[in-house]
Chains A and B, each alone.
Chain A
Amino acid sequence: MNFENISKKQLFKESQIMKIHYITGICALFVVAIHILMRVIMPYNMSLEYENVVMNYHNIFYAILLEIILVLIAIHGFNGLRIILIELRQNTAWEKSMTILTIIGMISIIAYGTRTIIIGNGLEI
Chain B
Amino acid sequence: MVVNDIGENRVNREGLKGWLNPTRYGWERVSYWFQRLTGIFLLVYFIGHVYETSSLTNGIDAWNAMLELTQTTGGHIFLILVIGASTFHSANGIRLIFVQSGKGLGKPGRPDYPYDPVSLNKTQRSGIWIALILSAVAMLYGANVLFE
Contact = CB atoms under 8 A, between A and B. Distances in A.
B12 interface: yes
Contacts, number: 86
Given A48-B71, A50-B60, A90-B12, A81 B40 contact: yes
Contacts of B63: 50, 53
Interface residue tally on B, bucketed by range? 35 or more
B64 A89 contact: no
Interface in A1-52: 1, 3, 18, 22, 25-26, 29, 32, 40, 43-45, 48, 50
A113 B50 CA distance: 6
Given A45-B71, A81-B39, A112-B50, 6 more contacts: A25-B93, A26-B97, A50-B64, A77-B43, A80-B39, A90-B12
A2 B83 CA distance: 45
Interface stretch (B51-59, B102-110, B121-129): B51-59
Contacts of B71: 45, 48
B12 A88 contact: yes
Contact of A57 (B5, B16, B56, B97): B56
Interface residues of A, number: 39
Given A25-B93, A90-B10, A109 B2 contact: no
Contacts of B94: 26
B2 A1 contact: yes
B15 A89 contact: yes
A114 B98 CA distance: 33
27 contacts: A1-B5, A25-B90, A25-B97, A43-B148, A44-B145, A45-B71, A48-B71, A50-B63, A50-B64, A53-B56, A53-B63, A57-B56, A73-B46, A77-B39, A77-B46, A84-B40, A87-B12, A90-B12, A91-B2, A109-B47, A109-B50, A112-B51, A112-B54, A113-B54, A116-B50, A116-B56, A116-B57
A43 B51 CA distance: 24
A73 B36 CA distance: 15
Contacts of A18: 100
B47 A40 contact: no
A91 B47 CA distance: 28
Contacts of A115: 54, 57
Nearest to B5: A1
Interface in B108-148: 145-146, 148
